[in-house]
Amino acid sequence: MKKSKILVVDDDRDLLTAVRILLRPKIEDIITEHNPENIPSLLERSPIDLVLLDMNFKSKIHTGNEGLYWLNYIREKHPHIAVVLITAYGAVDLAVRSVKMGAADFIVKPWQNEQLLATLEETLAIQKNKNFKPKTANLGDSPGTQLLGKSEVMMDLHYKIRKIAPTDANILILGENGTGKDLIAAAIHQQSNREEKPFIKVDVGALTDTLFESELFGYKKGAFTDAKEDRKGRFETAQGGTLFLDEIGNITLQQQAKLLSVLQNRQVIPLGSNEPTPIDIRLVSATNVPIKVLADENRFRKDLVYRINTVEIQVPPLRERGNDVVLLAQHFMQIYNEKYNKSIKGMEDSTLDKIKSYHYPGNVRELQYSIERAVIMSEGSTLKPTDILFSPIEQQWDPWEGTSAKGSQNLKELERKAIQTAISRYEGNISKAAKELGITRAALYRRMAKYGI
């Protein structure tokens, strides 16, 4: 990055001065220009590695037309030059459109200096063909821990992550099972100002009332029979960092009240103690419960919803991500090729057609397991359609589907009461209610929405 040459084009002279001061320690040669009409001559005069280009000149209406014009010009006349666009706050559609037209990346006003530097560093490294992995791409070493995707909905998602990560706002991540909500939470932490501090994940939906308190708030020696020593809870363990509460939609009303108290007071009281401990954490929560269901006061406190939902992120299901499914399938194939010492070179066209035509009720997780199974079982140099088998678990029979019209009113009433009884018995824990009813959680959510439960 140090030996690079960057052209910054913006009609705001104060911004040009600020960018020059910011980049001077990092970039060897910085050219600033307030008039975009001078772009052609500047690019002809000397070799440029990257252009940082404003999308709006002398206009309060953020159409981006002039920026897109100059983006097209640079891509056509100087295709080797990377272009990073500066766009207005909230212009997601414009940013997505610019990337589709060839922009390497975009940055949103007002930006964090660290964010701008990271974007330029990443773009220059890729442009110079270095072995560089973007900060937002690799979130771990295990298979499936990459937030990959080039579809419009994923570009929108990446934009939101970039925008909200540097803040301390509480985030609620919504999405179906298997969509990668935990990866979103990790990406938010990695791009936040708390990156060097702990990232602690808790599956709160699986905790009983007793475990809920001891796991989250900690306990003192002698607080209960097996408490042989003091132990910090997850809130204290995450001090200064990010606490990720997964499956928060499944906690009981009693647990919700305890969690709300901690979030309001910004302190925890360990079991067996009367001394409060101040906490400083950034809270990220996730649930597969639809927001309309979560907003039902009978199963989730509205004041807690407001507390955890400063910003809401909706993770798209795989079926809405277009050709991302091919990108992900090839990614998983490479991972499992290495893991199982295989030499599969690719997928047949008919295999890709099969992969693209499936609806993936289990989302990315289902695709991952299907590709892993295919790589293990394949005996050829390419994956064939017969190698791809989708899990019957996600397609299991719903005993409430397909009931006949005869006596339907009585059946519907019985069905509604059965759902209400199961949910009440398990105090809103959808997983346990679905298990008792003999159906999947997804099927139960559909029925709850149908009856307004």
For the stretch 192-248, pLDDT in tens is 989 999 999 999 988 887 789 899 999 888 878 777 888 899 999 999 999 999 999
Span 9-14, average pLDDT: 90
* pLDDT over 70 at 88, yes or no: no
Identity of the residue numbered 38: N
Average model confidence (pLDDT) across the chain: 83
pLDDT band (50, 70, 90) for residue 85: confident
Q: What is the pLDDT of residues 185-200, one digit of tens each?
A: 999 999 898 999 999 9
Q: What is the pLDDT of residues 316-326, one digit of tens each?
A: 999 999 999 99
Residue 285 backbone dihedrals phi, psi, to 5 degrees: -120, 160
pLDDT band (50, 70, 90) for residue 29: very high
* 318-395 has the same fold as 5-127: no
CATH topology for 318-395 is: Helicase, Ruva Protein; domain 3 (1.10.8)
The CATH number of 408-451 is 1.10.10
Residue-level pLDDT at 142: 36
Residue-level pLDDT at 372: 93
Residue-level pLDDT at 299: 84
CA distance 434 to 131: 47
pLDDT band (50, 70, 90) for residue 260: very high
CATH topology for 159-314 is: Rossmann fold (3.40.50)
Q: What is the pLDDT of residues 141-155, one digit of tens each?
A: 333 345 788 888 888
In the chain, where are the structural domains located? 5-127, 159-314, 318-395, 408-451
Residue-level pLDDT at 21: 92
Place of tokens 């600020």: 18
CA distance 230 to 224: 11
> Cα 213–182–270 angle (5° rounding)?
15
Q: What is the pLDDT of residues 431-440, one digit of tens each?
A: 878 777 777 7
SS3 of the chain:
CCCCEEEEECCCHHHHHHHHHHHCCCCCEEEEECCHHHHHHHHHHCCCCEEEEECCCCCCCCCCHHHHHHHHHHHHHCCCCEEEEEECCCCHHHHHHHHHCCCCEEEECCCCHHHHHHHHHHHHHHHCCCCCCCCCCECCCCCCCECCCCCHHHHHHHHHHHHHCCCCCCEEEECCCCCCHHHHHHHHHHCCCCCCCCEEEEEHHHCCHHHHHHHHHEECCCCCCCCCCCEECHHHHCCCCEEEEECHHHCCHHHHHHHHHHHHHCEECCECCCCCEECCCEEEEEECCCHHHHCCCCCCCHHHHHHHCCEEEECCCHHHCCCHHHHHHHHHHHHHHHHCCCCCCEECHHHHHHHHHCCCCCHHHHHHHHHHHHHHHCCCCEECHHHCCCCHHHHCCCCCCCCCCCCHHHHHHHHHHHHHHHHHHCCCCHHHHHHHHCCCHHHHHHHHHHHCC
Residue-level pLDDT at 139: 33
Q: Is the overall model pTM greater than 0.75, yes or no?
A: no
Does domain 5-127 fall under CATH 3.40.50.300? My reply is no
* pLDDT over 90 at 429, yes or no: no
